[in-house]
Each structure stands twice: as C-alpha cells, then as structure tokens.
C-alpha cells in the first residue's frame, strides 16, 4: 500500500473512532446526564440546586414576564401564576398593580418555601397566596381569579385536557388567560423531547383551547424573545361552562 493511502486510512479510522466516541458520550455519557439533570431541574426545581435555578429562571425570564404582563393590560383583582418558578412575574405584577392580589401555584416544595420567604410581607397582609400543586388540579375555588398566567410550563403538563378544564374552572367566565412558551423548534433545540417531554406546538395548543371553549384565542411571537422564538397565547375563559 502506498504511504499516502495508508495515511488517509489511518486518518479516516481515527475520525470514525472520534465520531463514535462523541456520539456515545452524547447518547449516554456525562453530557447526556447533565442535560437530563438540567431539564429535570427546569421541570421541577428540587434539592440544593433549587435556589440557583430559581435565580437563573428569574433572570432569564424577566423580559418574558414583563411582556406577558404588558399583554394582560388590566388584570382585574386576582391573578394566578401557575408554575411560578422563582416568582419574577409575581413580583412584577405586585409592583405594577398596587391593588392586585397575586397567587402562585408550584409543584416544587422548594419553590413554594422560597416564595413563602420572598413574599412574607405580602402574605402577611393577604396580598399573596402561594400553594403547592399542579395545573391539573388547581387548589382554589371556581371563579377565584380574573387572570391566569403561565410561562414555560405546557411541555411539563401531564394532562392538557385536565389543565385546560382547570384553567377554565378557576377563571370566571371571560377571565383572561396568557400562556407564554418557546417555539416548538426552540423546545427541540433545548432537547426537551430527548428526555421524554412531549414538544408543544403553540398553534396546536391554541387549537385545543378553542376546542375546549376558550374564546378570542390568539397567538403572537413575543417581541422580547423574537430571536429565541417565544410565543404568547392570549385567550378568554369560556363564557359557558361545558359538561
């Protein structure tokens, strides 16, 4: 064999080994484990990392919270943030609307404890109420809220039909609902599907809302998140209760 061909063969074999090695690390190695752990924290911040994750979420999603609240306009007297994470949107809502009472729902016990400390003064005077739970079973009475917001949560919902029924139940007829989420492409780039979460097409979610009786359902690309491709769904809770 000529030396040049031998050299090419060795280089090709080395490249192949490197590629297979990289793929193995990607599929099951440390990188994949870190990715799984990061998504697990985003889906329910827990343990020692919960504090740093909450601060990270607040920083990363402050702009999205501001734009979501801009779109709310007048929130009425009671707003619920479902899956509030670090609570940035709740804080902003309190600052913007001096008479608004704000509630927060979170499945993560660490996020609930953190919010109880963070909002201790507002909780003492009845302006804030934080509870543990999930969107599929919201622990407040029918018609308890005039506005419901949720950011970056739909791909973590376990049951969309139940979630929409609960949103509708806790809002009075015509109550405002705003759902902010990354585009499906962005969700894919974040690798949510690689760790078992179902990607959510915002248009398809909007369609499910229409089918569930929500009215004035609209989707818009969020200005602040245009580069990352986030979508805001705005709607009104059904005026007539189904079932």
Ligand X SMILES: C[S@@+](CC[C@H](N)C(=O)[O-])C[C@H]1O[C@@H](n2cnc3c(N)ncnc32)[C@H](O)[C@@H]1O
Residue 57 binds ligand X, judged by CB under 6 A: yes
CA dist., res. 39 & res. 122, Å (int): 31
Task: Between 28 and 109, name the residue whose CB sits nearer to ligand X.
Answer: 109
Contacts with ligand X in 162-221 (CB under 6 A)?
A: none
Task: Between 62 and 215, name the residue whose CB sits nearer to ligand X.
Answer: 62
* Interface with ligand X: number of residues (CB under 6 A): 24
Residue 135 binds ligand X, judged by CB under 6 A: yes
Residue 224 binds ligand X, judged by CB under 6 A: no
Please state the closest distance from residue 172 (CB atom) to ligand X, in A.
21
Site string for ligand X, 81-120 (x = CB under 6 A): -xxxxx-------------------xxx--x---------
Among 7-15, 76-84, 112-120, 214-222, the segment contacting ligand X (CB under 6 A) = 76-84
Residues found near ligand X in the complex (CB under 6 A): 42-45, 57, 61, 82-86, 106-108, 111, 134-136, 151-153, 156-158
């Amino acid at each position: 064999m000529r030396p040049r061909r031998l050299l090419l063969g060795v280089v090709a074999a080395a490249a192949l080994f490197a590629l297979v090695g990289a793929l193995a690390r990607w599929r099951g190695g440390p990188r994949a484990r870190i990715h799984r752990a990061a998504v697990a924290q985003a889906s329910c911040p827990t343990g020692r990392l919960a504090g740093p994750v909450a601060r990270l979420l607040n920083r990363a999603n402050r702009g999205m919270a501001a734009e979501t609240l801009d779109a709310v306009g007048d929130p009425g007297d009671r707003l619920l943030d479902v899956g509030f994470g670090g609570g940035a949107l709740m804080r902003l809502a309190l600052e913007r609307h001096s008479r608004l009472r704000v509630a927060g729902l979170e499945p993560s016990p660490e996020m609930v404890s953190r919010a109880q400390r963070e909002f201790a003064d507002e909780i003492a005077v009845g302006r804030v109420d934080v509870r543990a739970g999930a969107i599929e079973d919201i622990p407040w009475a029918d018609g308890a809220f005039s506005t419901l917001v949720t950011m970056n949560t739909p791909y973590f919902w376990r049951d969309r039909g139940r979630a929409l029924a609960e949103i509708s139940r806790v809002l009075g007829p015509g109550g405002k609902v705003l759902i902010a989420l990354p585009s499906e492409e962005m969700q894919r780039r974040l690798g949510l599907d690689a760790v078992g979460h179902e990607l959510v097409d915002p248009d398809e979610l909007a369609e499910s809302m229409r089918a569930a009786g929500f009215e004035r359902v609209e989707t818009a690309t969020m200005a602040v998140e245009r580069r990352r491709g986030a979508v805001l769904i705005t709607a009104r809770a059904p005026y007539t209760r189904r079932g």
